[in-house]
Amino acid sequence: MRLFNDPDKGNCAACHLSQPTADKLPPLFTDTEYEALGVPRNRRLAANRDPNHFDMGLCGPLRTDFATQTQYCGMFLTPTLRNSAKRGVYFHNGVYHDLKQVVDFYNLREVQPGAIYPHDAGGKILKYDDLPARYHANIDVADAPFDRKAGDKRPLSDAEVQDIIAFLRTLDDGDKAAGY
């Protein structure tokens, strides 16, 4: 939990709030806000066989009310992390299947993008490959751990990644099956 909360480590609690709510409910692990994290493209999705198809969240194409509000392109709701260890499919496009991949994404997206995104035939890293380039400025590079630069020290060691995963597992309901 310390690593989850620490702004110099995971900084997860900046968005996945870990404090009780104002009306004293247990923490919800979401700030109910929208962010563009630049999650990698899920090339296994049938819709993504079309290279011109992009699921851009708030600005569509499924949702239509913000179609002209391009500052929202790529933004998705911060989900609760309760029972996330039981889900087995992560982020809006389901690109990851275990929490190690998810925490590695946060840890490495900026400092080592070549470990997160595919490369083109010439070896160039296709950073933020699931959002058209004209909207890349919407992607959050202000909040830690995304404020680091390529080549900077990664915020979490492998052992610390495992510690955060262990903490996420404590957010599971132990007494009943999750009803997804």
Contact footprint for ligand HEC (CB under 6 A): 10-12, 14-16, 35, 37, 39, 76, 78-79, 81, 84, 87, 90-92, 99, 102-103, 106, 140, 143, 164
CA 137 remoteness from chain centre: 16
Q: How far apart are the first and last CA of the chain?
A: 25
Q: How far is the CB of 31 from ligand HEC (least distance, A)?
A: 8
Q: Which residue has the tokens 């079309």?
A: 50
Residue 98 CB, shortest distance to ligand HEC, in Å, is 10
Nearer to ligand HEC, 39 or 59 (CB): 39
CA angle 8, 9, 12 (to 5 degrees): 105
Give residues with Cβ within 8 angstroms of 86, minimum separation 6.
Answer: 172, 178, 180
> Closest distance between ligand HEC and the C-beta of residue 13, in Å?
8
| Shortest CB 21 distance to ligand HEC, Å | 18
Give whichever of 121 and 159 is closer to ligand HEC, judged by the CB atom.
Answer: 159
